[in-house]
Amino acid sequence: MNDVLDVALRLVAVLVVFLTFPLVVGQTEHKVMAHMQGRLGPMYAGGFHGWAQLVADGVKFAQKEDVVPANADRRIFQLAPAVALLPYLLVLIAIPVGPHGFVGQAIDAGLFFVLAVMGVGVLGSLMAGWASANKFSLLGGLRTAAQLMAYELPMLLAAASVAMAAGTLSLPGIVEAYHWWWTPWQIIGAVVFFTAGLAELQRPPFDMPVADSEIIFGAYTEYTGLRFALFLLAEYAGIVVLCALTTVLFLGGWHGPWSDSVGWLWTLIKTFVLAFIVIWLRVTYPRMREDQLQKLAWTGLIPLALAQIALTGVVKVVIS
Amino acid sequence: MAQDKKKLPGSGLAKGLAVTLRTMTRRSVTAQYPDLQPELPPRSRGVIALFEENCTVCMLCARECPDWCIYIDSHKETMPAVAPGGRERSRNVLDRFAIDFSLCMYCGICIEVCPFDALFWSPEFEYAETDILELTHERDKLRDWMWTVPAPPPLDPGAEEPKELAAAQKSAEKVAAARAQEGDA
C-alpha cells in the first residue's frame, strides 16, 4: 500500500512540475525579453505585473475553434501535439532533483532513456508537418527533420562523454560521481550539448523550421486553439527538460554548499539560470539561415564533441 | 577585414549578449499611458482653445487657415452712443466659432495670426471620436479647453526682454511724465 502511495505521490509531483515550470519559464521569457528590449511586457493580466498572462492566453486558446483542414490526415494531425508534448513529461520522471532518491524514478540506463525519449518529441513536429496538407507545414517539417538529423548526433556524443567520465548511464549515478573539476573538463561538451539541445527545441537562433517571415509557422501553421497551445507548451517544457538535463550532466545537479539538505534547491537554481540563458540567447541573436544551421552542426559541433570525447578518454586513462 | 582579424573570435557574440543584458538593467522606455498621463513638453500642440472675449470676428484666422477648417458666423449690433450727440458704434457679435479637427493640421497659423490673443494652444489631446463628423468642435468646447491652457513658461535666462514689457514701460513713463508736468503747473 505504501509503495502505491509513494509511486502515486512521485507521479503527481512530476505532473505538477510539468504543468507549472514551463509556465514559469514562459512568463520569465515574457518579462525578461521585454526588459531586454526596453519594454515592460505584460502588465495587466492578473493585476500585478501581468503575472497571469499565460493563464489568460490559455483561456483564450481553449475558447478557440479546433480546426482540422479538409485534406489533412485527420488522426495524425490530431495526435501530433500529444506526441510533441508527452515525451517531455516522461523525461521529467527520470531527472534527479536531489540526493537520496529525490527523483521520479531512478532508471539504470537513465541517460539513454532520456535522450531516446527526447528525440521522440521532435517526431510530433514531423507528424504535424506531414499531416497538415500545407506546403508551409511540409517545408517546416522537412527543416525540422534536417535539424534533428544534424543536431541529434553532437548531442549524443556530448552526453556520451559525460557517461564515459562517470562510468555509468544512470542520471543519479552521474551526479553522484560529479566533482567540481568536471565542469571545466567537460565544458566543451556542455556547450555542444546545450547548443544542440536548443537547436532540437527549435529555439531562436535555431528556429529556422518555424521561421515566420518565410514559412508562416512551419509545421504548426494549420493548428488552432488548444492543439496549437500544446505545441507552444511543448517548447517550454522542452526548455525545462534541456536545462535540467544540462544541469544534471554538466553542472553537478544538486552539488553545492549544504547539498544534503537543500540539494534540490541547487538543481532548481542551476536549471533556472540556464533557462534564463536560453531566453537571453533568443533575445540577442538573429535567426540563422538554413545552410548556416547545417554548417554549424556538421563542421562545428560534431568535431568539437568528438574532441571532447577524445579529451575525456585521455583524462580518464591518465587518472585511473 | 584587417581590423576583424585582430578581434577574438566570438567577441561579437559576447558584445551582443552584453548589449541585451545592459538594456535589461536599465529602466524601460514604455509609457504606461492610460494609467499614467504623459509629461508633455511646454508649448505642446494638443488642441486649439478659444478665449472668445478677445475675439473681434476679424476673420483673420479663418482666412489664413490653409485647410479652411475654421467656421465663423457673426452679426453686427449697433451700440448706442456713449456721449449724448455722439455717433452710434457698431460691434461684431460672435454667433458661431467652430474648428473641424478632422481637417486641422495643427500648423498653428491661426494662433500666430490672431491680433487679439483669442486663440491658444492647449496641451489637451484626448478628444478622439468614433465618428469623423464629431471632430468639429463648437465654441463652448473650445472655450472649455481654454481653461487647460498653461501659463506661458518663463523666459530662458539671458533672453531678450519681450516687446510688450518695453511698450508698457514706455507708456507708463509717459503717463508719469504727464502727471509730473500737471503737478508742476
**Is B70 strand, coil or helix?**
strand
Q: What is each CA distance from A120 to A145, A156, A195, B7, B71, in whole angstroms?
A: 12, 14, 18, 41, 73
Residues of chain B positioned with their CB less than 8 A from the CB of A30: none
The confidence score (pLDDT) of residue B37 equals: 87
Q: For residues B88 and B152, is the Cβ–Cβ distance under 8 A? A: no
> What distance in Å separates the CA atoms of residue A313 and residue A260, rounded to the nearest whole number?
31
Confidence of residue B1 (pLDDT cuts 50, 70, 90): very low
The total of structural domains in chain A comes to 1
Q: What is each CA distance from A179 to A38, A187, A249, B47, in whole angstroms?
A: 40, 13, 11, 70
Q: For residues B72 and B94, is the Cβ–Cβ distance under 8 A? A: yes
A215, with CB counted inside 10 A (0-12, 13-18, 19+), is buried
Nearest chain B residue to A281, by CA: B17
For residue B163, give the C-alpha cell.
516687446
**Is B125 strand, coil or helix?**
coil
**Amino acid letter, residue B40:** L
pTM for this structure? 0.77
Nearest chain A residue to B28, by CA: A38
Nearest chain B residue to A276, by CA: B21
> What distance in Å separates the CA atoms of residue B133 and residue B164, rounded to the nearest whole number?
40
* CB within 8 Å: A40 and B28: yes
- The percentage of chain B sitting over the pLDDT mark of 70, rounded to a whole number, equals 96
Residues 10-39 of B with CB under 8 A from A: 13, 16-17, 19-21, 23-24, 26, 28-30, 32
Least confident of A176-180, A245-249, B63-67: A176-180
Alpha helices in chain B (DSSP H): 2-6, 11-25, 60-64, 109-113, 139-146, 163-184
B47 pLDDT more than 50: yes
A197-228 per-position pLDDT tens digit: 898 888 888 888 888 888 888 888 888 888 89
Q: Which of B20, B29, B30 faces A36 most closely, judged by CB atoms?
A: B20
Q: Which of A35, A43, A281 faces B24 most closely, judged by CB atoms?
A: A35
C-alpha radius of gyration, chain A, whole number:
20
- Please enumerate in sequence order all residues whose Cβ is within 8 A of that of A178, keeping only pairs 6 or more positions apart, or say none: A166, A252, A253, A255
ipTM summary value: 0.72
Confidence of residue A106 (pLDDT cuts 50, 70, 90): confident
* DSSP single-letter state for residue A220: G
| Domain extent for A56 | 2-319
Nearest chain B residue to A277, by CA: B17
**Is A112 strand, coil or helix?**
helix
The confidence score (pLDDT) of residue A179 equals: 80
A28-45 per-position pLDDT tens digit: 999 999 999 988 888 888
Residues of chain B positioned with their CB less than 8 A from the CB of A40: 28, 30, 32
Q: What is each CA distance from B73 to A275, A294, B56, B93, in whole angstroms?
A: 69, 75, 12, 9
Cis peptide before A205, with omega less than 30 degrees from 0?
A: yes
Architecture of domain B48-77+91-149: 2-Layer Sandwich (3.30)
Say how many Å lie between the first and final Cα of chain B, rounded: 94
In which region does residue B106 sit, left (phi positive, over 0), alpha (psi from -120 to 50) or beta (all else)?
left
Stretch B14-22: mean pLDDT, rounded?
89
For residue A314, give the C-alpha cell.
585521455
The domains of chain B are located at 48-77+91-149
* DSSP single-letter state for residue A300: I
Q: How many residues does chain A have?
A: 320
**Amino acid letter, residue A263:** G
The confidence score (pLDDT) of residue B50 equals: 92
Between B8 and B127, whose confidence is greater? B127
> What distance in Å separates the CA atoms of residue A56 and residue A193, rounded to the nearest whole number?
34
**Is B152 strand, coil or helix?**
coil
